[in-house]
Amino acid sequence: MAEQTILVVDDEKDLLDLIEYNLKKEGFKVLKAENGEQGIEKAREHKPDLVLLDIMMPKMDGLEAVEIMRKDDDLRNIPIIFLTARSDEKTEVEGLDKGGDDYITKPISTTKLISRIKAVMRRFEDIEESVNKLEVHDLMIDKDRYIVSRGEEEFQLPRKEFELLFYLASRKGKVLDRQTLLNKVWGDNIYVVDRTVDVHVRKIREKLGDHYIETVKGVGYRFKE
């Protein structure tokens, strides 16, 4: 396997150096940046396999940076883990909704950090090995381009909305509870509240219409047959 590259973006130099040392011991190539602007520049230049991103930084914080990355065609599919001292639920939900794939609160042991990084990378490898295109009803859902099309019309959904739609559509007709959807789309090693699924389903319906995803009261959701 080719050497995997991790971009670490944090304004604490001592922490950057500590993470770099431990990731290199695990065989990763490490890039470093000290604020969101610098992080985006390095991500565009090097296309890392994963970004470890602090939230509270000068010039541009992590929430702004992740929004920009998720709108950039070259960066939108890179997994992003937030590493931050902010532990309130509101910030965690906001970070995940904006496109983060995991959220780790400081301080954290390097052993646990590396375990979470490897778990996110495995999840993305599993996704990449699965079917990449689905034709359901009048929709074409293309994972290679992260595009949903209906006839000549194309929709670019944010990453988690797209992955939630893809997961539901790939199991057309099956009722899926919220916890299953959280585990499969956001990962079973992070905490995300149930309403995160509801918010994402609502946003999908606003863009595509409400006739694809059915609410099964008291259980969860089903992509209609």
Rounded to 5 degrees, φ, ψ at 77 are: -100, 5
pLDDT in tens, 98-146: 778 888 888 888 898 999 898 888 777 655 555 688 888 999 999 888 8
Q: What crossing angle do the helices spanning 89-97 and 195-208 adopt, rounded to 10°?
A: 30
Query: Sign (positive/negative) of CA torsion 85, 87, 92, 94?
Result: negative
Q: What pLDDT band is residue 75 in, cutting at 50, 70 and 90?
A: confident
Q: According to the model, what pLDDT value does residue 2 have?
A: 52
Distance CA 26, CA 20 (A): 10
Q: Which two tokens stand for residue 128?
A: 């990449």
Parse the chain into domains and list their residue ranges.
5-128, 131-223
- DSSP assigned state of 99: T
pLDDT in tens, 151-188: 999 998 988 899 999 999 988 888 888 888 888 888 76
pLDDT score of 87 more than 80: no
pLDDT in tens, 10-25: 999 999 999 999 999 9
pTM across the whole model: 0.61
Question: What average pLDDT score do residues 51-78 get?
Answer: 87
pLDDT score of 59 more than 50: yes
Q: According to the model, what pLDDT value does residue 38 have?
A: 93
Distances (CA, A) of 37 to 33, 126, 171, 201: 9, 30, 39, 31
First-to-final CA distance of the chain: 40
Write down the architecture of domain 131-223 according to CATH.
Orthogonal Bundle (1.10)
Q: According to the model, what pLDDT value does residue 1 have?
A: 42
Question: What average pLDDT score do residues 200-222 get?
Answer: 92
Quick one: which of 101, 149, 146, 116 has its CA closest to 128? 146
pLDDT in tens, 40-50: 999 999 889 89
pLDDT score of 191 more than 80: no
Question: What average pLDDT score do residues 95-100 get?
Answer: 79
Quick one: which of 207, 205, 215, 203 has its CA closest to 178? 215
Q: 5-128: which CATH number, 3.40.50.2300, 1.10.10.10, 3.40.50.720, 3.20.20.80? A: 3.40.50.2300
Distance CA 26, CA 123 (A): 18
Q: What pLDDT band is residue 200 in, cutting at 50, 70 and 90?
A: very high
Position with higher pLDDT, 74 vs 155: 155
